[in-house]
C-alpha cells in the first residue's frame, strides 16, 4: 500500500489466541502516536501507535471485554480487548463516539500504510522512548485549527 495522509485500507487480523478477529475497511481518519500515561500502561512501552477510523469501518467477530476510565479531557475512554488473551482491540472516547482508535501493532505485517504525523501528550514522553524528531509534538491534545 502506498502512504498517504488518509489511506484506504482493507486489513484483517486476529488476537494472540485467535478468539477475536478484527477488520478495518475504509479510509483512515488520522494516524498518531500518544505518550499519555494511560497509553504507556496499556502498551507496556513509552507510547501507543494508533489510527483513528470511523466505527462503521470496523468489524469485530468473537467475544470482547471492555473497561472505562476518565480521560484527562473529562471524557470517558473505553478500551476493548480479548477476554481470553488480553490483546488490545480498540479504544473509544465519549468525545468522539463515532471514531475508534485501533492499535497499529494488531495488524503486524499489514501496516506499512501507517505514517504518524504527530505525537500527543508529549509532556509525559519518556526520555528513553525514541520518537522520531520530525514529528510535531503537542503537550496534550492537538490544537484544533480554527
Can you give the pLDDT at residue 131?
86
Q: What is the H or E stretch that residue 23 is in?
A: strand 21-27
Bridge-partner residues for 65, per DSSP? 81
CA dist., res. 5 & res. 113, Å (int): 10
Domain 8-138 in CATH 3.90.1590.10? The answer is yes
According to the model, what pLDDT value does residue 64 have?
97
pLDDT of residue 1: 41
On the CB side of 81, how many CA atoms lie within 13 Å of its CA? 14
> What are the residue ranges in the chain where pLDDT is below 70?
1-4, 142-146
How long, in residues, is the chain? 146
Q: Show Cβ contacts of residue 133 under 8 Å, excluding neighbours closer than 6 positions.
A: none
What pLDDT, on the 0 to 100 scale, is given for residue 135?
86
CB 61: neighbour CB atoms within 10 A? 12
| pTM confidence score | 0.85
The residues, ordered by sequence, that sit 6+ positions from 34 with a Cβ below 8 Å of its Cβ are: 47, 48, 50, 119, 120, 121
In this prediction, residue 30 carries a pLDDT of: 93
Residue showing cell 501496516: 111
What are the boundaries of each domain within the chain?
8-138
Q: What's the pLDDT at 143?
A: 61
Helix/strand/coil for 37: helix
Amino acid at each position: 500500500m502506498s502512504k498517504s495522509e488518509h489511506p484506504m485500507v482493507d486489513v484483517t487480523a486476529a488476537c494472540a489466541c485467535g478468539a477475536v478477529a478484527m477488520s478495518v475497511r475504509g479510509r483512515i481518519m488520522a494516524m498518531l502516536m500518544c505518550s499519555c500515561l494511560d497509553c504507556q500502561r496499556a502498551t507496556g512501552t513509552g507510547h501507543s501507535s494508533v489510527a483513528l477510523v470511523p466505527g462503521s469501518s470496523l468489524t469485530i467477530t468473537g467475544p470482547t471485554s471492555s473497561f472505562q476510565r476518565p480521560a484527562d479531557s473529562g471524557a470517558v475512554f473505553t478500551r476493548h480487548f480479548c477476554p481470553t488473551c488480553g490483546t488490545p482491540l480498540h479504544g473509544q472516547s465519549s468525545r468522539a463516539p463515532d471514531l475508534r482508535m485501533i492499535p497499529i501493532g494488531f495488524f503486524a505485517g499489514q501496516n506499512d500504510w501507517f505514517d504518524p504525523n504527530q505525537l500527543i501528550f508529549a509532556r509525559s514522553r519518556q526520555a528513553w522512548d525514541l520518537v522520531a524528531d520530525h514529528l510535531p509534538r503537542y503537550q496534550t491534545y492537538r490544537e484544533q485549527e480554527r
